[in-house]
Structures are given as C-alpha cells and as structure tokens.
Amino acid sequence: MKADGFFTKHTNNPLLQFINAKGEKEKWYDFEGIIQEYATRGEQAVNLKMIDKLLPIIGKALDLDEESFKEIKGYKHLCGIVPEFDRVIEYATKNNYLDFAADYDIMEKCVYIKKARSQYSEEQRDLVKEAMRLLKDELVAFLKSAKINNEENSLAFMIFFSIMGIYDAGYKGLTMKLSDYSKKYQGSFPDFKIVSFNYTDTISNLVKFLQRIKFDSRIDLETDDLKENFYRIHGALDSEVIFGIDSECDIPNAFISLRKSNHISINAKQRFSDIIENSKRIIIFGHSIYGIDYEYYADFLEKNKDTEVVVIYHNEDGKKEFENEMENRGVMRSINYEYIVISDHFFEFCKNIAEEQQLFFEKEK
C-alpha cells in the first residue's frame, strides 16, 4: 500500500492516515485493531464523544444550572472544530452563568452548535465509510494478485486433509489416497466443518496444490463439492469482504458502520455458533481469536467445557501470548497446543485425527 502511494493519495482521510502512522510502529496485519483504536481513542472519536456530552451540558446551563455552566469551560479541546464552539466556550470562560443564560446571541449560537455537531458527525461518518471502501478495494486487489507459498502451507494442508479422514506423510501418498477415497465414497467425507475468517478459496487452493504434483491420480474436487463443509464467515473476494471492529467497544454513532456486526447477518453468527457448539474437536490455526474476533468464540470458550480445543502455533512467543490472553479474559478451560513444524509428533497428530475421522465415518455409513 505504501509502495503504490495509497496513503499519499488520501492525505485528507484521518482514518487512513491513522492506520499509516500506527502501521509504521506496530503490526500491519492487525489493521482491524488499529481501526478499533481510531474509533475508540482517536482524535475524531474523542471529539465526537465530547460534543455529545457538551450539548446537554449547554442545555442545562441555559436553564440556569451553574455547575453545568462551569463544566463548559472544560471543553476547550473542541475549539477549532467549528467557530460556534469557540465562541460559546470563550463566552463561558469570561462571563458568569446568569449572563450566559440571558444572552440571546449565545442562545442563537447554541442552535448553530447543534447544526454544526450534525455536520461534523456526518463528515466523520462519510470519511470512515470512504476509508473502509478504499481499504476493501486495496485488500481485494492485493489478495487476488498474491501467490500462495505452498512450501509453508503444506503443513496446514495436512491438517485440512486429516480432518477429511485422509493422511499420508508424503505428497504423492496424500494425492493418491485422496483420489482413492473420493472414488470409494463417491465424494463423501467424514463430518467436518472448515470455518474460514479469510477471503480466499482455501479448498480450491488446497486441491490445486496437489494437482500441480504430477502423478497419475486425478483429483476431481472443487469447493462446490464441499460447500456444506466449508464456510467463509467474512465473505469472499468474488462477493464482499467483511472486516471492521467488534460490537462491544464504545464508539461514537458516526462510526457505527465500522462494526462487523452491521455487515454480518444474525444467521451467519448463529451458524458459526452452532458449528462450534456441536463439534467434538475444534482446531484453530492462523487466527488470533483473542483479538477483534473474540466475540465469536466468547460464550463457547467461557462456558463449553466438553469440546476438545486444539490451537496450532508457529512459535513459543505466539503460544505464550495466546495463553496470556486467554488467562486475561478469564478462560479457564483446557486447551491443547500443537507446534506446526515438520516432526514425527506433528505427523502423528495428523494421522490420529485422520484415523478417528475414518472410524467415525465408517460407523455412520
């Protein structure tokens, strides 16, 4: 984004400039967290919240409430946003509450303040909507042109196949087993669900990865064949991508459009909840659930004690961070951790899952 001058093109958009500034110092991949910080603690968010508090205070001051009149002086931070704020706050600083309530000119300015507040809120609302639209366009363009590092993803692919009931330590064996399995069961697989918070077609990428390996076995498997098993909760590149902030944080009304909950249907959240509540084992990887998306898991992690939860981690620092965040949120349930690295232990982990899935599938058949 920096390379193609994205932020330079949009210097007048405060949200984009906030992301640019924070991204220089912190983690770019957590841009949703940066957006949430802007919406809750950024300058524009603070101004909007202060304006909402100031209006009823001014109303009480006009009704001869001396304490409310004194409070007006504490809102000097708003000076410079619109001239009406400056004049009312300056008047309150230099005069007493009786003069304030009796001054017709001040009453007129207070009427303008309400209009100015609405205008400022609308401007900020439009700016965040514009920023999100531009970010989505950039994200879609980037992901469509991005190339998957199959070498790094091969271990993740092994987990995918193991929950489908298929395991082999080598690519050739995996390909042939998938082909044989598909023929034997006519495209049926054990009961599993893959819930993706990404926007890419994971199953299609997974199959293409194997199909690029030149073996005799042919794999006729597409995403549509597994559409009941695969669920992209945040949309897809060929439809609409959904990102934003969680629904619990305190934000001004002007920033409501930033909430994911405004773009995800109630049915989508319920479907996700049903999936995890009715699962015997949940494997989580590539997803820092203690961040913006924690609200999806909160009830399950805090109340469900029976389902096995496995978290795949890439390094010890990541594991420790996850453990600390769960502890901070009061999650006391048992969580198993698996290190995603080429090792006998990891292969055994995948093999055991595949065998359990096969046994369960055979019983169901």
Residue 127 and residue 159 in one domain: no
Please give the tally of structural domains in the chain. 2
pLDDT at 215 exceeding the cut of 60: no
pTM of the predicted model, to two decimals?
0.73
d(C-alpha 38, C-alpha 255), whole Å = 10
Any bridge partners for residue 194, and if so which?
A: 230
Boundary of a domain, candidates 146, 169, 196: 146
Mean pLDDT over 349-358 rounds to: 89
d(C-alpha 288, C-alpha 131), whole Å = 24
87-91, 108-112, 350-354: which is most confident: 350-354
Boundary of a domain, candidates 119, 146, 173: 146
d(C-alpha 146, C-alpha 117), whole Å = 43
Residue 244 and residue 171 in one domain: yes
Residues 202, 230 contacting (CB under 8 angstroms) = yes
d(C-alpha 89, C-alpha 76), whole Å = 7
Lowest mean pLDDT among 1-5, 20-24, 302-306, 317-321: 1-5
Q: How many CB atoms lie within 10 A of CB 289?
A: 18
d(C-alpha 113, C-alpha 347), whole Å = 66
Residue 231 and residue 108 in one domain: no
Residue 32 and residue 119 in one domain: yes
pLDDT at 148 exceeding the cut of 80: no
Q: How many CB atoms lie within 10 A of CB 177?
A: 17
For 306-339, write each residue's pLDDT tens digit. 888 999 888 888 889 888 988 888 888 888 998 8
Q: What is the dihedral of CA 79, 85, 91, 97, to 10 degrees?
A: -120
Element (H, E) at 338: strand 336-339
Residue 159 and residue 108 in one domain: no
Residue 138 and residue 206 in one domain: no
- In single-letter form, the type of residue at position 359 comes to L
d(C-alpha 304, C-alpha 362), whole Å = 28
Residue 201 and residue 348 in one domain: yes
For 112-135, write each residue's pLDDT tens digit. 888 888 889 999 999 999 999 998
Element (H, E) at 34: helix 31-41
φ and ψ at residue 218, rounded to 5 degrees: -105, 135
pLDDT at 182 exceeding the cut of 80: no
Residue 274 and residue 351 in one domain: yes
pLDDT score recorded for residue 89: 86
Task: Considering only residues 290 and 83, tell me which one the structure prediction assigns the higher pLDDT.
Answer: 83
Boundary of a domain, candidates 112, 146, 180: 146
Residue 197 and residue 321 in one domain: yes
The average confidence (pLDDT) of the chain is 81
- Which structural domain range is residue 260 located in? 150-364
pLDDT at 68 exceeding the cut of 90: yes
pLDDT at 152 exceeding the cut of 90: no
Burial of 344 (0-12, 13-18, 19+ CB in 10 A): exposed
Q: How many CB atoms lie within 10 A of CB 299?
A: 12
pLDDT score recorded for residue 214: 47
pLDDT score recorded for residue 307: 87
- Per-residue pLDDT band for 142 (boundaries 50, 70, 90) equals confident
Mean pLDDT over 185-207 rounds to: 74
pLDDT at 78 exceeding the cut of 80: yes
- Per-residue pLDDT band for 46 (boundaries 50, 70, 90) equals very high
d(C-alpha 243, C-alpha 19), whole Å = 14
pLDDT score recorded for residue 362: 75
Residue 125 and residue 227 in one domain: no
**CB environment 64-95: b (16+ within 10 A), e (fewer):** eeeebbebbeebeebeebbebbebbbebbeee
260: its two tokens: 């994911």
Residues 89, 78 contacting (CB under 8 angstroms) = yes
Residue 237 and residue 253 in one domain: yes
Residue 22 and residue 142 in one domain: yes
